[in-house]
């Protein structure tokens, strides 16, 4: 590229077309080395100041926004400009927003722009600074900029409206996002995608999928970004039928299913309980990166298919794909769910050997592995040797291990650490209370529950959901709000009778309250997953699989009852709790009662 010729074009410029020619030539600059040469010749050339200012602004834009650019050089040129134009400001704000290490620098630049009394920023300025606020989720600054948008009269710009809506959605202020969305007269694809993604991120699945249907009625064709958001929503809710429909929709409308979409499909099918479909998508993927392999490994792990997860990991290594942190979380989790202590320790050592520094999640997987195997002394030694301070999850896992193995002599240390880290988390107090209750230490139980009451803490209620005819129905423990609750409770009573006739005695020890056996049995029947299963039996017939998603771990009695239901009703039932999947067929569970 002839740098002198590029500068000569500007030197002889007389019209706007000449300046555009310079800009066009500048965009063809192959790298920063050539750009710096152009910049140097420009500074030495006797070009009129207006033309030189124009050229410098374009250099700022190239350095800030080009993939070959240099944000530091862009800032250096900008800071030396006496009167930078709005294009220069916008380029720098946008450039910092796209920087690999997001910061508040775009917001600082915007404030400087305002403080210097610059004429009103344009729509691009507002959109770019809102984008910066959304990237770092800084709600207060974004909210202030919204007020600037209104005062400057730019609120009617679709470009700015979309930026505002995306900002609120990224900050989880979905109500504000929807308000802005509803005020956009002509919603483009970006607006629809951002709103759908905002709902999906917060787990508002029915809203997300309902908006997707509305988008289709509006005649807006979705792209890959939209479809990833919708698939993510399906994965979060366990809505398999909707996920399958979305997959078919993409194929029907010839939407390109790229690497990211394929990976999202693998993740969705795995989290919706169809590991077979996840494997089918994975097996035909034309390319697989570390994220794709990791998604498959994690999916197999949460389904309790430990050996298959490790085999897939071996295939990944054979394909010369370097594992990442998520890969080893999946591998170690698989070992934990399968009780493979030797394999878990071997892969832990492998992770260290390949140079991956363990995160808290990796330590948590190892603690879980050792706790499940009943190696309480080993796990305490492991935790004490951790180079980073254990977080609350580590101590909770350790307490769960102590509760399952009936070990009380090492509990107090974990209790003290847990309450020190999270003194206002109701889940911790319930865990400790249940630990004491399982050992009939009712005095200690009363003290813990008294502390909860004094601090105004309430337990997170058990909540289970089931998808029927494309809609997700939710139930909480003791729920009476569903419009078909009378029919559901009739099925629940029949279900309880058939389970009892099959020889099952309620595990009343799972109700950790000092009450009578009758009250305990009644409480067990009110658990949310039983209501969801009853609704599934009411609304579907064999061979349809009943799929339930629960926010907490399944209790021991519900686990046994579901095994019996699968046998006496001859129905396959898949339950996804907060830890893993349980697949019940003919009286047995895929976890092999190791969970």
pLDDT in tens, 393-424: 999 988 887 766 556 667 788 888 888 998 88
Query: 102: burial class by Cβ within 10 Å (0-12, 13-18, 19+)?
Result: middle
Per-residue pLDDT, 202:
79
- pTM (2 d.p.): 0.74
The alpha carbons of the chain give a radius of gyration, in whole angstroms, of 29
Query: 538: burial class by Cβ within 10 Å (0-12, 13-18, 19+)?
Result: middle
CA distance 592 to 338: 9
Sign of CA dihedral 308, 311, 317, 318: negative
Backbone angles phi, psi at 354, to 5 degrees: -85, 5
Query: C-alpha angle 167/170/175, rounded to 5°?
Result: 80
Q: Token pair of 450, please?
A: 């008294």
CA distance 345 to 370: 10
Considering only residues 21 and 312, tell me which one the structure prediction assigns the higher pLDDT.
312
CA distance 255 to 232: 17
Q: Token pair of 587, please?
A: 């009286």
Per-residue pLDDT, 517:
42
Backbone angles phi, psi at 473, to 5 degrees: -105, 135
Beta strands in 469-565 (DSSP E): 471-476, 546-550
CA distance 306 to 333: 8
Sign of CA dihedral 393, 395, 401, 404: negative
CA distance 518 to 498: 18
pLDDT at 306 over 50: yes
Express each pLDDT in 524-580 by its tens digit: 678 899 999 999 999 999 999 999 999 988 888 899 999 999 999 999 999 999 888
Express each pLDDT in 183-238 by its tens digit: 888 888 888 888 888 887 777 887 887 888 898 889 888 888 888 888 988 888 78
Say which range, 28-32, 90-94, 444-448, has the weakest mean pLDDT: 28-32
Which region holds residue 570: left if phi is over 0, alpha if psi is between -120 and 50, else beta? left
Q: Got the DSSP string for 254-309?
A: T----HHHHHHHHHHHHHTT-HHHHHHHHHT-S---HHHHHHHHHHHHHTT-HHHH
CA distance 214 to 298: 33
Counts for the chain of helices (H) and strands (E), in that order: 31, 6
Do the beta carbons of residue 344 and residue 332 sit within 8 Å? yes
Backbone angles phi, psi at 390, to 5 degrees: -60, 140
Q: What percentage of the chain exceeds 70 in pLDDT?
A: 89
CA 55 to chain centre: 43
Per-residue pLDDT, 515:
40
Q: Token pair of 28, please?
A: 């063809």
**With bands split at pLDDT 50, 70 and 90, how would you rate the model's confidence at 274?**
very high
CA distance 284 to 53: 54
Considering only residues 516 and 163, tell me which one the structure prediction assigns the higher pLDDT.
163
- The position carrying tokens 């500048």 is 26
Most confident of 242-251, 422-431, 485-494: 485-494
As a whole number of angstroms, the longest Cα–Cα distance in the chain is 98
Express each pLDDT in 90-105 by its tens digit: 999 998 888 767 788 8
Q: Token pair of 122, please?
A: 């344009």
pLDDT at 508 over 60: no
**With bands split at pLDDT 50, 70 and 90, how would you rate the model's confidence at 7?**
low
CA distance 483 to 493: 18
């Amino acid at each position: 590229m002839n740098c002198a010729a590029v500068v000569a074009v500007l030197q002889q410029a007389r019209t706007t077309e000449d300046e555009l020619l310079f800009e066009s030539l500048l965009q063809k600059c192959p790298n920063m080395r050539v750009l710096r040469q152009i910049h140097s010749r420009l500074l030495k050339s006797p070009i009129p100041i207006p033309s030189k200012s124009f050229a410098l602004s374009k250099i700022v834009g190239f350095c800030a926004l080009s993939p070959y650019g240099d944000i530091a050089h862009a800032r250096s040129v900008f800071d030396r400009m006496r009167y930078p134009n709005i294009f220069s400001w916008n380029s720098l704000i946008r450039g910092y927003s796209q920087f690999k290490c997001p910061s508040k620098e775009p917001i600082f630049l915007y404030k400087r722009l305002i403080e210097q009394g610059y004429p009103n920023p344009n729509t691009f300025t507002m959109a770019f600074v809102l984008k910066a606020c959304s990237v770092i989720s800084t709600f207060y600054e974004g909210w202030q900029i919204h007020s600037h948008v209104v005062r400057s009269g730019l609120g009617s710009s679709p470009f700015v409206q979309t930026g505002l809506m995306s900002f609120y959605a990224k900050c989880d202020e979905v109500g504000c996002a929807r308000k802005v969305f509803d005020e956009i007269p002509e919603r483009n694809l970006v607006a629809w995608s951002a709103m759908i993604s905002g709902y999906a991120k917060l787990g508002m699945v029915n809203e997300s999928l309902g908006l997707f249907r509305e988008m289709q009625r509006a005649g807006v064709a979705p792209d890959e970004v939209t479809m990833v958001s919708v698939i993510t929503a399906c994965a979060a809710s366990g809505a398999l039928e909707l996920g399958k429909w979305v997959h078919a929709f993409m194929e029907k409308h010839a939407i390109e299913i790229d690497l990211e979409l394929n990976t999202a499909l693998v993740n969705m099918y795995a989290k919706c309980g169809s590991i077979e479909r996840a494997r089918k998508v994975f097996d035909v993927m034309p390319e697989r990166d570390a994220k794709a392999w990791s998604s498959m490994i994690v999916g197999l792990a949460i389904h309790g298919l430990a050996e298959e997860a490790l085999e897939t990991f071996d295939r990944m290594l054979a394909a010369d794909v370097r594992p990442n942190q998520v890969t080893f979380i999946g591998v170690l989790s698989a070992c934990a769910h399968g009780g493979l202590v030797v394999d878990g320790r071997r892969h832990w050592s492998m992770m260290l050997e390949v140079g991956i520094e363990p995160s808290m999640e990796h330590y948590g997987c190892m603690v879980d592995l050792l706790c499940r195997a009943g190696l309480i002394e080993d796990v305490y030694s492991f935790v004490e040797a951790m180079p980073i301070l254990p977080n609350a999850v580590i101590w909770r896992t350790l307490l769960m291990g102590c509760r399952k193995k009936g070990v009380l002599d090492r509990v107090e240390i974990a209790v003290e650490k847990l309450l020190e880290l999270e003194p206002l988390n109701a889940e911790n107090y319930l865990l400790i209370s249940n630990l004491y209750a399982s050992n009939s230490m009712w005095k200690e139980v009363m003290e813990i529950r008294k502390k909860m009451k004094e601090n105004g803490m309430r337990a997170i209620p058990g909540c289970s959901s089931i998808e029927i005819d494309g809609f997700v129905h939710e139930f909480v423990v003791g729920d009476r709000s569903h419009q078909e609750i009378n029919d559901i409770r009739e099925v629940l009573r029949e279900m309880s009778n058939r389970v009892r006739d099959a020889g099952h005695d309620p595990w009343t020890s799972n109700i950790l309250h000092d009450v009578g056996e009758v009250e305990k049995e009644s409480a067990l029947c009110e658990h949310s997953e039983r209501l969801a299963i009853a609704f599934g039996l009411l609304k579907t017939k064999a061979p349809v699989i009943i799929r339930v998603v629960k926010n907490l771990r399944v209790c021991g009695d519900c686990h046994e009852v579901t095994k019996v239901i699968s046998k006496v009703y001859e129905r396959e039932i898949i339950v996804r709790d907060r830890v893993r999947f349980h697949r019940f067929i003919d009286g047995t569970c895929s976890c092999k009662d190791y969970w």
